[in-house]
Structure 1
Amino acid sequence: MFLAIRELLHAKLRYSLIGLIMILIAVLIFIISGLAKGLSADNASAIQHLNADNLMIESGVEQELTKSFLPESTVEEAAQTKGVKDTSPLVIRMSSASVEGTDQNSDVALFGTDLQGTLVPDVIQGERPANPDEVMADDSLKKDGIEVGDTITFSGHDAAYTVSGFVENQRFSHAPVIYMDMAGDKINAVAIQTDGEIDDNFAGHFDVLSKSDVLQGIPSYSQEQASLNMMIVFLFVIAAFVLAVFFYVITMQKTSQLGVLRALGSQTAYIISSLLVQVILISIVCIAIAIGVTYGINLVLPEDMPFVMSTGNMIQASALLLAVSVIGSLVSLYQVVKVDPVEAIEGGD
């Protein structure tokens, strides 16, 4: 530890440059991770937060909710099936909403279900609808001027509806979700909660999917996430190569000093542990700075940009980056092991 810290303090410029490179790579990884998380939530948070174990949809529609159409009687059939504890209908329609008396339209996703059922999220402002003429909206619609008590209309619907309350983080296909009663419409899915295995004879007539399976069927969801995740993987690989090259060059420059240490009786394990301490200290400091920089960038990003910084996501990315840094330093550690004290000292003369 003493040797590692002393060398860091002695060659401040050299290690500061390495640190700067690492900070920039870490910030880029954190930003892309936040965008991936944000786009995922913007595209499917209403499904991610759905209070259901599985969704039952029509067979043969390639897991796409909006292509599935089931008769309303399916809800009752599912409720009477062995292993099913609770059921709720789910109707999804893409539409546009406008406040009566204004010309402004907002693209929305209409989620039709039992407004007193388990699929309706908690209200953060206002109250749950008390009758079929009331709806609840995602709070992102506040930016479009929609408020509790407003009367809104939807394209394709003749009736007008009153906004009774707002919910948060409810979006589907990059549009805010509005929860409403849509009794009489053909449903897209039956959300089910289970307390055991579902009767195979019943499930065989439908596709019973987990929420993660349903997410993959949302248009553009898997493509967006695959592209961003590929960028993140490449950044980790780049980080490993860059750090490997830096520490290898630095170790080569210190060959004569390492030879002297070996000649004076320093154990190889001690030298290796000192280099590892250097790598870990630099990595921890740089990752901490990168997290601070990323939080600062998050504060100045536009409100409508889909960017999510979750604690779990940051911890996971930080741990991977630390692991990649240590792995990247292994090449230089090999160089330490094969140093010959006599050759190293003679080479430095």
Structure 2
Amino acid sequence: MFLGINEIKYSKGKYVLVILVMALVAWLIFILSGLANGLAQGNRLAVDQWQADGIVLAEEANSNLNASTLNESVLASIEGDQVEPIGQLSLAIRQKDQSKADLTNVSLFGIETSGFLMPKVIEGAADLEKNQVVASEALKNQGYELGDKLTAGKYAEDLELVGWTKESSFNIVPVIYANLDTWRAIKYGDNPASSELVNGFVVKSKDGQKITTSDQDSQVIKIEDFIQKLPGYSAQNLTLDGMIYFLIVISAFILGIFIFVMTLQKTAMFGVLKVQGVPTSYLAKSVLLQTTVLAVIGVGIGLALTVVTVLFLPDSMPYATNYPRIAIFSGLLIVAAILGGAFSIRTVAKIDPLVAIGG
């Protein structure tokens, strides 16, 4: 330990370079981790807020909420503690006095406003009448205000923004909530045949109760399975996580190469130490300690850079810090660095003292 730490103090230039490389790799990994978590959260946040256990969709909908169409009468066939209908629609809205260039993509949820799917309204009105909506407070950052009259797609009537909920998103866009009558009017118009249509039913179970449906045209999907099948969700997560793990492996090779080269440069010094009776195990521990210290410092600097970077990220960037994942990736980076540095131990063990000192 004494040898490794003092060598770092003596040859600051070489080791600062190693720390810098480690810090940059850690910085990149932490930023990618936050972006991956932000994108995942942007896809599923509204679904997580349901705190539900399952969802019943049409069998031919391929687990896609928007592609599912069921009659409200299906509710009677569902076994669960709490069951509520839901409708979903992707559309673009704008403030009535704004131009068409100011459209905002949102996901509209049609719900029973007295049920558990109705989020807590943190500002404004919670009782929704026809053509009234409450919206994720994320829309505040885009200039929307309570009382705004909204144009929604080709819907002929105006929507009124009457309340804010805490931030909620689905498929990376903010969520607005309306009652089922408003949702049906926007999606189907004045078609009387649509008066009992919904996209699906969200179900809460009690004490591990199994959720079932006796309707032959519908199926029960666990909430986590439903989330995994959201369009692009799994592919996006696999891609970004794959990039992160590749970077961790690459960091092991980079640090391993640095330590190996520096070990070769110290062959003569190691030879002298061996002649003086210093055991190979002590020298090996010194190399591993150096690697660990460099990795810890590099990861620490990477964390500090990440904290500063987050302060300057635009609101439109879907970044969300996941502290458990950050801790896991920090640990993996340090372990990968130690494994990379361990390749130099064999070089230390093979040093012949006489050859090393020119004997």
TM-score normalised by the chain length of structure 2: 0.87
Separation in 2, partners of 1:241, 1:67 = 47
The residue type equivalent to 2:308 in the other structure is G
Stretch of structure 1 that moved more, 193-202 or 261-270: 193-202
Over the aligned positions, Cα root-mean-square deviation in angstroms equals: 2.4
1:88 has 2:84 as partner = yes
Task: Name the residue aligned to 1:315.
Answer: 327
Report matched runs for 1:1-349 at 5 Å: 1-78=1-78, 81=79, 84-103=80-99, 104-183=102-181, 184=195, 186-195=197-206, 196-198=208-210, 202=214, 206-346=218-358
Separation in 2, partners of 1:150, 1:176 = 16
Question: 8 Å contact 1:58–1:206 — kept in the other structure?
Answer: yes
Runs of 5+ unmatched residues, structure 2 = 182-194
Matched residue SS, 2:238:
helix
Per-residue CA deviation, residues 50-99 of structure 1 (Å, 9 max, x unaligned), is 32122222224322221122221223322xx2xx2222222110112233
Cα offset for 1:199? 5.9
Matched residue SS, 2:163:
strand
Once the two structures are aligned, what percentage of the paired residues are identical?
31
Cα offset for 1:8? 0.5
Cα offset for 1:288? 1.1
Question: 8 Å contact 1:88–1:191 — kept in the other structure?
Answer: yes
Cα offset for 1:260? 2.7
Cα offset for 1:345? 3.4
Stretch of structure 1 that moved more, 153-162 or 181-190: 153-162
Question: 8 Å contact 1:133–1:161 — kept in the other structure?
Answer: yes
Cα offset for 1:244? 1.2
Cα offset for 1:233? 2.1
Stretch of structure 1 that moved more, 260-269 or 66-75: 260-269
Matched residue SS, 1:293:
helix
Separation in 2, partners of 1:130, 1:319 = 49
Q: Structure 2 vs 1, CA of residues 206 and 332 (structure 1 numbering), >3 Å: closer, same or farther?
A: farther
Matched residue SS, 2:180:
coil
Question: 8 Å contact 1:63–1:216 — kept in the other structure?
Answer: no
Q: Structure 2 vs 1, CA of residues 248 and 219 (structure 1 numbering), >3 Å: closer, same or farther?
A: same
Separation in 2, partners of 1:178, 1:125 = 14
Runs of 5+ unmatched residues, structure 1 = none
Matched residue SS, 1:302:
coil
Matched residue SS, 1:304:
coil
Stretch of structure 1 that moved more, 86-95 or 154-163: 154-163
Question: 8 Å contact 1:87–1:192 — kept in the other structure?
Answer: yes
Stretch of structure 1 that moved more, 327-336 or 191-200: 191-200
Matched residue SS, 1:272:
helix
Stretch of structure 1 that moved more, 259-268 or 311-320: 259-268
Separation in 2, partners of 1:85, 1:52 = 10
Separation in 2, partners of 1:60, 1:342 = 78
Matched residue SS, 1:124:
strand
Separation in 2, partners of 1:203, 1:165 = 36
The residue type equivalent to 1:58 in the other structure is A
Cα offset for 1:225? 2.3
Q: Structure 2 vs 1, CA of residues 270 and 125 (structure 1 numbering), >3 Å: closer, same or farther?
A: farther
The residue type equivalent to 1:336 in the other structure is V
Stretch of structure 1 that moved more, 322-331 or 68-77: 68-77
